[in-house]
Chains A and B, each alone.
Chain A
Amino acid sequence: MNAVNDPVPPSYDRWRLLLVVVGTLGAVASVAAPIAWMLR
């Protein structure tokens, strides 16, 4: 059964949002960490 068009449980959206936030934090950290290292 191909489930591409199935309704997606609301919990998926919550977890995906969490991962986006975590990913964004990771990205920010990857920029901020070297800058902070250079400025210390």
Chain B
Amino acid sequence: MNGIGAALFLFVLYCMYVVVIGPLLVVVGAVVMFGHVVVGTIGGLATARNTAPSVPQADGEDPAFRSYFLGQGRSDLVWTARTIFDTIAEVTDWLVAAHEDAFDESWYLTWPLILGHLVGALVGLVVIGAALVAQAIAMAIGFVLAELTRVALRSSDWVLGRIRRVRVVCPHPGCNHPIAYPGYRCPQCDSMHADVRPSRLGIAARTCRCGERMPTLVLLGSAHGKATCVHCLRPLEKTAGTMREVQVPVLGATSAGKSGFLGATFNALMADTGNRITRVRAAESSAASVQDLSGRAAAGMQLDPTGDHIPAAMQLYIEPTKGRELAVHFFDPAGELLRGDEDTMDQLGFLGHADRFVLVLDPLALPSVLEQLEPVAPDAVAAAAPTHEDQEQAFHNSVQRIAGRAKKGRLAFIVTKLDVLEGARALDGLDGTDSASVAAWLERHELGNLVRAARNGFSTVRFYGCSAVRPDGGAGLAALIDPVAWLLDLQATTPAPALAGVSAGATP
């Protein structure tokens, strides 16, 4: 009886334990474990926030940090998940260690605590998991928005570039590569960023590894940075990528008068803003060479033969009265280079990227002209230093190099040094402003083959005659500007004033 009474007492006592103490233990165990899981995870994440590694720079990648949502965010999310899994592992280890003996000995007393721990851990993990899912969703939204912005910005820039007909070709000798987009050097640490356009390294701006912010597009102000050729790493003009660039190589035999023509043309362009051009200025990098050449031409000085070094572009900014400002790269290669070997010709990269050409022909080297001129004006002929090179051959050498481009290109065929012919019979009715007249004059002087070769070799050809010496006055200046205006499609806002002897050269 006593035994039964004791058993009943113990049963009642246990029931009271289960009903009163048990739920308390469940709640306490759950709260403690929930707190352990949540606080442990938040603590881990708080530490991770300061120590999470930034995504390392990949091989060949620009030295910039990844855009948060296109690189770093994913890395952070993985880091967060890893921290949570570490917490789960830690909690599991703790649970196992704390209760591994409980089922052998006093399980009937400890089960509410075990149950509480399990419930707390489960709820805690659900809460932490929900936080992770919320972060992942935010990351996904951020990623999609970042990608859409990237595509929108790149497309806008591309479209704007097409509308403005932006094209960049390195002006530096020996390079002359076309550039899809200028590279930029970091203004702080000078490190090279080969492609700053919106990418996983930054959408509207990127952060250099040194911490400096850089805009990613010309649209967004990247042109204020240090533009650099991505091929030769030499500096480009600040305007690179912002406007149309036109390459104009000036071809011709040695001493044909290419440099004289170019210098006089620079002077004419800068002097006469007329009704086609609002403003002309030399680029910063070319100011010295442009000034030197135009100064010598203006002073009527005999120009030294151009050295046989690979020429750098002489860049002019021309603001037409109609249309946007454009950058014109004039190249003045020595005649010797144009008949050079393959290696030398390969260095003249600009020939392969131009589609506007000038060919300068020295009329004083034509036997029929010399025959008439030398007896009457031997000093003038000697002073004009006619070329001794076969000009037809020089032309063929050049065309051979630019065959592909020439077929789609324009050629302004210039007969220069007309001042020497002035008043002489050799001038023979030559009107430098009339393309057909110049072509006919060339044919009369046994250059019919050259005229035909020029017409066959290029998409469009116009013939001009001009003088690089004493081009004062409207007609003289116009004769120098006309070929460039035609090559560059410079339109007049109003019909040209009727200058004596000036008319647009007709297309043959």
List residues of chain A with CB under 8 Å of any chain B CB.
1-4, 6-9, 11-12, 15-16, 18-20, 22-27, 29-31
Report chain B residues within 8 Å CB of A27: 38, 127-128, 130-131, 134
Report chain B residues within 8 Å CB of A29: 130, 134
Q: Summarize A's interface: helix, strand, loop or mixed.
A: helix
Query: Given contacts A19-B76, A30-B127, A31-B127, are A8 and B54 in contact (CB under 8 A)?
Result: yes
Quick one: which of B45, B65, B73, B130 contacts A30, CB cutoff 8 A? B130
B56 contacts partner chain A, Cβ-Cβ < 8 Å: yes
Q: For the complex, give the distance between the alpha carbons of A12 and B73 in Å.
A: 8
Q: For the complex, give the distance between the alpha carbons of A24 and B57 in Å.
A: 31
List B residues 36-54 near A (Cβ within 8 Å): 38, 45, 49, 53-54
- Nearest A residue to B211, CB-CB: A7
B207 contacts partner chain A, Cβ-Cβ < 8 Å: yes
List B residues 56-78 near A (Cβ within 8 Å): 56-57, 65, 68-69, 72-73, 76
List B residues 110-145 near A (Cβ within 8 Å): 123, 126-135, 137-139, 142
Report the interface size for chain B: residues with CB under 8 A from the other chain.
Answer: 33
Are B138 and A19 within 8 A (Cβ)? Answer: yes
Q: Summarize B's interface: helix, strand, loop or mixed.
A: helix
* B462, chain A: closest CB distance, angstroms: 56
A-B contact count (CB 8 A): 76
22 residue pairs from A and B, CB less than 8 Å apart: A1-B56, A2-B56, A3-B54, A3-B55, A4-B53, A8-B54, A8-B65, A9-B65, A9-B207, A9-B211, A12-B65, A12-B72, A15-B142, A19-B76, A20-B45, A23-B132, A26-B130, A26-B135, A26-B137, A29-B130, A30-B131, A31-B123
Q: For the complex, give the distance between the alpha carbons of A8 and B207 in Å.
A: 9
* Chain B 58-102 near chain A by CB (<8 Å), digits 1 or 0: 000000010011001100100010000000000000000000000
Query: Given contacts A15-B73, A22-B138, A23-B134, are A30 and B126 in contact (CB under 8 A)?
Result: yes
Are B211 and A24 within 8 A (Cβ)? Answer: no
Are A12 and B130 within 8 A (Cβ)? Answer: no
B209 contacts partner chain A, Cβ-Cβ < 8 Å: yes
- Nearest A residue to B51, CB-CB: A4
Q: For the complex, give the distance between the alpha carbons of A9 and B278 in Å.
A: 45
Report chain A residues within 8 Å CB of B123: 31
Q: For the complex, give the distance between the alpha carbons of A2 and B134 in Å.
A: 30
Are B54 and A6 within 8 A (Cβ)? Answer: yes
Are A26 and B134 within 8 A (Cβ)? Answer: yes
Are A1 and B57 within 8 A (Cβ)? Answer: yes
Q: For the complex, give the distance between the alpha carbons of A4 and B54 in Å.
A: 6
Report chain A residues within 8 Å CB of B57: 1, 3
Pairs A-B, 7 closest by C-beta atoms: A26-B134, A30-B130, A23-B131, A27-B131, A9-B207, A15-B68, A22-B138
